[in-house]
Amino acid sequence: MPAALSIPIGNRFSDWKYESEPEPHMGGRRIYHARGKVLGGSSSINGMIFQRGNPLDYERWADQPGMDAWDYSHCLPYFKRMETCLAGGDQYRGDHGPLVLERGAADNPMFKAFFSAVQEAGYQITDDVNGYRQEGFAAFDRNLHRGRRISASKAYLHPVEDRPNLDVKTRAFVTRVVFDATRAVGVEYIHRGKTQTVFASEIILCGGAINTPQLLQLSGVGNGTDLEKLGIPVVADLPGVGENMQDHLEVYVQHAATEPLSIAPYLKWYRRPGVWAQWLVRRGPGASNHFEAGGFVRSNEDVVYPNLMIHFLPIAIRYDGSLPAGGHGYQIHVGPTRSNSRGSVKIRSRDPSEKPSLRFNYLSTERDRKEWLEAVGVARSIFAQPAFSHLDGGELSPGPNVKTDAEILDWVAGDAETAFHPSCTAAMGTGNDAVVDPGQLRVHGVDGLRVVDASVMPFVTNGNIYAPVMMIAEKTADAILGNTSLPRENVDVYRR
């Protein structure tokens, strides 16, 4: 049930339940990080928001040495191939792919107020944040259809699960990559309490931005000095493994509502049987993730393209499902999307079951803090517009007493949560800190080993990262199979 997206988060059966180290610029808080522990990975527990990022994100990628084939014209054909956009295919959108995308209805009256308010605040409405123009506000595409989540496993794995050359093992915990000198020849894993090894001509790691660098380090691929201190034989000295970690942090700017228009009543226990019954026939509030609209804006005139992401919800609620006192409300999720803070993933020992040390260093740079002040200002300015005057019951969070720059930053440090977009910890490139080559995503310094997941991004994209990860997988699948790459598609995109 899409509306029940908070249930798998924090559940030991579906979530790895990571925590960061105490964040030095957030009062020593440990930030919770959910990661999918099921088939489909985090696509099986995420918020189902489908955003490619800005086309200029990929120009930024392509500006790095050796990365020419990752500009938007090379990535667009793969974005299109993987999707069936129910709003319609065109030169920007696909209509025959395995990932079915349903656009948010955004028909709650609060969305009408939101779209009016953003225009009153001086922002534009755009037809499609995944099309010609990302900047502005629109209904969002979601990877759900007829009340069901479309995870990576549902779209790609389940349709081919009967293939004779496919063997899926669940509840198997990979402990290391097995090397013969510098060639990867297999993986060691624990299944039903027994350590086993499977051998293959090529190994592809898809563990994500936390598990992939963890496994590489456990296997002797990483910063040689760090590995030697832990007694791990060095197979390849790659100092970039686990470095360059990027993420999106967000806060909830929440208001109470004076009219009973929010979806809060559906959370009451006596309404849940009705919600469930409607969902069984693919209807009603259970059939949506309720992240049905939002947008992207620039925080100041010096920014070339959007650096703030905004999601609107017709309810005041936290990601874990907890509600503030007061009943009806509404909120904006907002945060910078191109922070220059950088973190790391480092194993603590040779024990694969010990969770790695995660340091994100949120709010650690002057630019990051400046953009946070601008982000909260943008959200507050939208809610202050006349379109919300008939609904506004007052600011719940951060609250009217939070006014000065110092007070706002203190609130962000004490209240912000991750948007669950860790990435870039085994970045592709050709420099000394690169981990995989841009053409094939093969790990530098070894043979027979590739990485295909969010860790290979050089920079996090401007939005939720499920769509870019799937594009990377589609594009690399052609490389692995030896297929000719899809021809590039040069289309006009919005530039300021």
Task: Please write the tens of the pLDDT for every residue from 384-429.
Answer: 999 999 999 999 999 999 999 999 999 999 999 999 899 999 999 9
What is the percentage of the chain residues whose pLDDT exceeds 90? 81
With contact defined as beta carbons under 8 Å apart, do 82 and 98 qualify? Answer: yes
Helix (H) or strand (E) holding 359: strand 357-359
As beta bridge partners, residue 249 has 418
Cβ(207)–Cβ(338) below 8 Å: no
Instruction: Give percent of the chain above pLDDT 70.
Output: 93
Q: Which residues contact 231 (CB under 8 A, 6 or more apart)?
A: 350
Identify the band that residue 222 occupies on the pLDDT scale cut at 50, 70 and 90. Answer: very high
Per-residue pLDDT for 319 more than 80?
A: no
Residue 430 has a pLDDT of: 95
Dist CA 496 CA 494 (whole Å): 7
Q: Which of 244, 221, 427, 435 is nearest to 345 (CA)?
A: 244
Q: State the pLDDT at residue 271.
A: 64
Of 143 and 265, which is predicted with more confidence? 143
pLDDT of residue 325 exceeding 60, the answer is: no
**Is residue 342 over pLDDT 90?**
yes
Q: What does each C-alpha distance from 292 to 88, 154, 245, 341, 440 come to in angstroms? A: 17, 22, 29, 29, 36
**pLDDT top residue among 284 and 360:** 360
SS3 353: coil
> Among the options 248, 290, 333, 421, which is catalytic?
421
Q: Give the predicted TM-score (pTM) of the model.
A: 0.93
Confidence of residue 369 (pLDDT cuts 50, 70, 90): very high
What b/e readout covers 92-120, taking b as 16+ CB neighbours within 10 angstroms?
bbbeebbbbbbbbebebebbebbbebbbe
> Dihedral, CA atoms, 278, 279, 285, 290, nearest 10 degrees?
-170
Q: Examine the pLDDT at 285 and tell me if it is beyond 90.
A: no
pLDDT of residue 47: 84
- Report CA torsion sign: 133, 134, 138, 141: positive
All residues at 6 or more sequence positions from 109 whose CB lies less than 8 Å from its CB, including other chains: 261
* Confidence label for 268 from pLDDT (cuts 50, 70 and 90): low
Give 198's strand partners: 187
Residue 322 has pLDDT above 80, yes or no: no
Averaged pLDDT, 298-311 = 95
Give the mean pLDDT of the chain. 92
pLDDT band with cut points at 50, 70 and 90 for residue 320: low
pLDDT for position 337: 96
CA atoms within 13 A on the CB side of 474: 24
Determine the distance from the C-alpha atom of residue 342 to the mean position of all C-alpha atoms in its chain, rounded to a whole number. 16
Which pLDDT score, from 0 to 100, does residue 443 have? 98
* Catalytic residue list contains 421: yes
pLDDT, tens digit, 9 for 90 and up, residues 92-113: 999 999 999 999 989 899 999 9
| Residue that is written with structure tokens 């534009």 in the block | 124
pLDDT band at 146 (very low <50, low <70, confident <90, very high): confident
SS3 content of the chain, % helix, strand, coil (to 5): 30, 25, 50
List the single range of 278-287, 373-382, 437-446 with lowest mean pLDDT: 278-287
Tell me the average pLDDT across 198-226. Answer: 97
pLDDT score recorded for residue 44: 82
End-to-end CA separation in angstroms for the chain: 40
Q: Do 345 and 242 touch, CB atoms closer than 8 A?
A: yes
